[in-house]
Structure 1
Amino acid sequence: MIDHNTYELHREASSYIDSLRARSLSWNTERIYASRSALYLTACAAHGVDWSRPSLGQLARFMRWMVKEPLPSRRRDGGGELRFRSEETANAVMTTVCELLRFGARYGWVPAEVAAQLTQQKYLAYLPPDYNAGEDGQFRTVRARELKFIVANDGIDWLTFEEVEQLLAVTVHARDRFLVALLWCTALRIGEALGLRREDMHLLSNSRSLGCRVEGPHVHVRRRLNDNGALAKSRHPRSVPVTGELVALYAEYVYEREQVPEASGVDMVFVNLFRGVLGRGMTYSTAKDLFDRLARRAELVARPHMLRHGAATAWIRGGQPRDVVQKLLGHQSQSSMAPYVHTSDADKRAAVEKVGAGRGGVA
C-alpha cells in the first residue's frame, strides 16, 4: 500500500504541469493531470523503477497494479468495503503517463527510445467522422498507444427531465436550485457556469441598454481567467438563451445572496454562501460536493456533465436541428456531437414497433 501522505515535489513533473497552464487548460484539468502523474511517480519509487526509463513490461505491470491495488478508504477508521480503480480509469492515467514521458523526451530527461516504444503504427480501416485521410490515403496510418485495457464503451451517463426534477426537489437553497436549473436549461459545462460573472447575465427581454443586440433573456459564455479556477473550454464566446422560469430562479438566488454581506460587490455569479470562505467564487470541488449531496438525497447518480448530456439529448429528441444544438453546446465540429446522442430502450422499442406496424406486425 502506498503512503499518499509522503509526496515530494518533482521538478520534471512540475514543469509538465506548468506546460498545461501555458496551453490555457483549466485548473481542474491541471489538478487531474497532477494527481495522475503523482500516482505514477509514487508507484515507481515504491517498486524501484526509474520513472524516466520504464520498460513496456514495467508499464504493463503498473497498469495491472492500478486496477488491483485497493483505493484508500474514505472512512476515518480505514474500514468499509474495498474500492478499486476501473480499467477506464487506468487507461486515463496511462494517457497522462505517456504525455509526461513524451514531454520529458523533448527536454532530454527521458531517452527518445523510451518515448518511441509508447506507440505503434496503426492503419485506420474505418475513419472517424470528419477525418481527412489525404488524397492517397497517406494519413490512414497513425501512431496508436501501445498499452491500454480493451474496455467496452457504454457512453456517458445522462439525466432525463424526470431525474432533473428529482434533483431540483431535494435542493435546499436558491443558489443550488438555480445552478441545477441553469445547467439543464443551457447545457453549459460546469466550468462555464462557475466562470459566469454578473455582467454575463442578460436577463431582460431587451439588452440594448447593456450594449448587447441579442434578443430575449440569455447568458454570455466567455473564456477568461477566474480566481476560482473555472475556465470555459471553448475559446469562442457564445450566447445561450434562457427561459422565463430560469430568470425567476435567478431572482430568488439574488435575494438569498443579498443576505450574505461577504457576497456584496463580488462579480462572480456563483459564490460560497453557507460554508468555506463566504463570498468567494464556487470551485469545481465545491460544486462536486454539492452534486454528491443532492445525488444522495435524490437517490440518483448525478454529476454536472450529465445535465449537459441530458439537455442535448432532449433538444435532439425534440426535433431541434443538429446545427442549432451544436451552436448551443459550443462545439466547432459536428463530430463532437456524437457523444451527446443517447438512445434509450424506449427509443429502440419504438423504432422496432414502428417498422413492425408498417409490415402488418410481422417481423
Structure 2
Amino acid sequence: MVWLKYTPSSLDDDPAPVMLGPGADPARKERRVNGVLTAVRGLLSYAVSVGEAPRSVLGQIYELADSRDLPVEAQGEDSGLTYRLRAVHRSQEPEAEVDRASDEELVAMFLECRNARDRLIVLLLGRVGLRRGQAAGLHRSDCHLLPDSRALGCDYSGAHLHVRRRENSNRAWSKSKQAWTQPLDFLVVQAFDQYIDERHEVLGAGGSDFLLVNLFREPLGAPMPPDALGELFERLSQRAGLSRKVGPHMARRAFGSNVADAGGSADEVQALLGQTHPESPRPYLIPDRARLREAIERVPSPRSLHGTVEK
C-alpha cells in the first residue's frame, strides 16, 4: 500500500531509482489506491478459482469468516455453511465535503449572466433542481409551458418539464432511469420566454430540437454539451467574485434544501429531485443556517419550563 501511494507509475531510466515514502508527495490518492487493490483482489480470486494460484492466497488478502457467527435471523433459510470475505488491505479515504450553493451565491451568479440562455441555465439547476446532464438533454418537446397542456397530448396541468433518459448526440444523460414530470414556477417560465425570444432572434425557426443550443459560438444551433454548463458555472463564480467555485451539483443541492426549508416533505423532495429511493434525497438536504438558528431559538429555556429561577 505504501508503494502504491508513493511510487509514480513511470520512473526514470536510473537502474536504481530512489523509492519514495511517507513525507513525499503521494503519487496516488486513497480512492485510486483502493481501486487498484480491488482489481488485484479480483484477479487473485479468479486465479484461485481456476487453479492458477493456491487457496492460501485468499487468506493473505481477505479476512475469512463464516455464517456461524451471525445471528440466526441473518443466516437465512439455507442452513448450510457459507463464507464471507472482508478485504484486509484498504486505504482510509477522506470524507468528501458536501455543500450547497447559498441563495446569495446563486443570485450573484444570475446577475452576472450576459444573456437569457445563461440565466435560464442557472434557474434550471438552482430553481428546478436538474442535473447538468438532464438540463443539456432537454428537447423543446419536453417543455410544456402553457397552463393547459391537453392540446399537446399531456394530462399534467400547469407549466412543467418532462425529464427523460434518452441517447443524445451531445452525450447528455439523465442519471435517473425513470422519467418524471417537473413543475415550473413563474420565474422559470419567464426565463423560458426570454430565452425563446433570444433564440428566435439568432436562429429563427432553425437549430437543433435540443432546448439549450449554441447562440454565441460556432456551430450555431448545435446542442450544448453537459461540460459547457460546468464551464459556465465556473465563469459565473469568477465574475460574481465568489470566494469559491460553485458547481452545477451545488445548485441542485440548494434546490432540494430550499424545498425542505420551505416545509416540503421528504416524499416531495424525493419526487422533485427525480429519485426513486426514499433515502436518496438525504445528501441533498443541507439546511440553511438561518433555519438552524431558528430551530435553536424555538427550544424553550429552563425559565419558561420551570418558572423564574430564584437567586
Kindly, what percent of the aligned residue pairs are identical? 33
TM-score (ref. length: structure 1) = 0.65
Structure 1's 95 and 185: CA in aligned 2 closer, same or farther, altered over 3 A? farther
Q: Distance in 1 between matches of 2:114 and 2:200?
A: 17
Contact residue 189 and residue 304 of structure 1 kept, 8 A: yes
1:158 lines up with 2:100 in the alignment: yes
Superposition pairs for residues 321-360 of structure 1, below 5 Å? 321-357=265-301, 359-360=303-304
Match of 2:212 among 220, 245, 270: 270
1:44 lines up with 2:9 in the alignment: yes
Contact residue 218 and residue 242 of structure 1 kept, 8 A: yes
Match of 1:298 among 240, 248, 270: 240
Structure 1's 176 and 103: CA in aligned 2 closer, same or farther, altered over 3 A? farther
Contact residue 263 and residue 278 of structure 1 kept, 8 A: no
Structure 1's 278 and 102: CA in aligned 2 closer, same or farther, altered over 3 A? farther
TM-score (ref. length: structure 2) = 0.75
Instruction: After superposition, give the CA deviation of every residue in 1:277-317 in whole Å (9 maximum; x if it has no partner).
Output: 32221112211211111000112231111111001101111
Which residue of the partner structure matches residue 8 of structure 1?
none
Aligned length: 279
Gaps of 5+ in 1: 1-39, 49-57, 70-84, 124-132
1:336 alignment partner AA: S
1:136 lines up with 2:101 in the alignment: no
1:148 lines up with 2:91 in the alignment: yes
Q: Distance in 2 between matches of 1:251 and 1:153?
A: 39
Which residue of the partner structure matches residue 176 of structure 1?
118
Contact residue 257 and residue 288 of structure 2 kept, 8 A: no
Q: Distance in 1 between matches of 2:107 and 2:224?
A: 23
Contact residue 222 and residue 232 of structure 1 kept, 8 A: yes
Which residue of the partner structure matches residue 134 of structure 2?
192
Q: Distance in 2 between matches of 1:46 and 1:256?
A: 55
Structure 1's 348 and 228: CA in aligned 2 closer, same or farther, altered over 3 A? same
Contact residue 263 and residue 280 of structure 1 kept, 8 A: no
Contact residue 37 and residue 90 of structure 2 kept, 8 A: no
Which residue of the partner structure matches residue 32 of structure 2?
93
Contact residue 312 and residue 325 of structure 1 kept, 8 A: yes
Q: Rg larger in 1 or in 2?
A: 2
Q: Distance in 2 between matches of 1:260 and 1:268?
A: 15
1:288 lines up with 2:240 in the alignment: no
The structure with the greater share of residues assigned to helix is: 1
Which residue of the partner structure matches residue 257 of structure 1?
199
Which residue of the partner structure matches residue 149 of structure 2?
207
The offset of 1:151, in angstroms, is 2.3
Instruction: After superposition, give the CA deviation of every residue in 1:164-218 in whole Å (9 maximum; x if it has no partner).
Output: 1111111001110001011122111111111100110011111111111011000
Q: CA RMSD in A?
A: 3.9
Contact residue 30 and residue 93 of structure 2 kept, 8 A: no
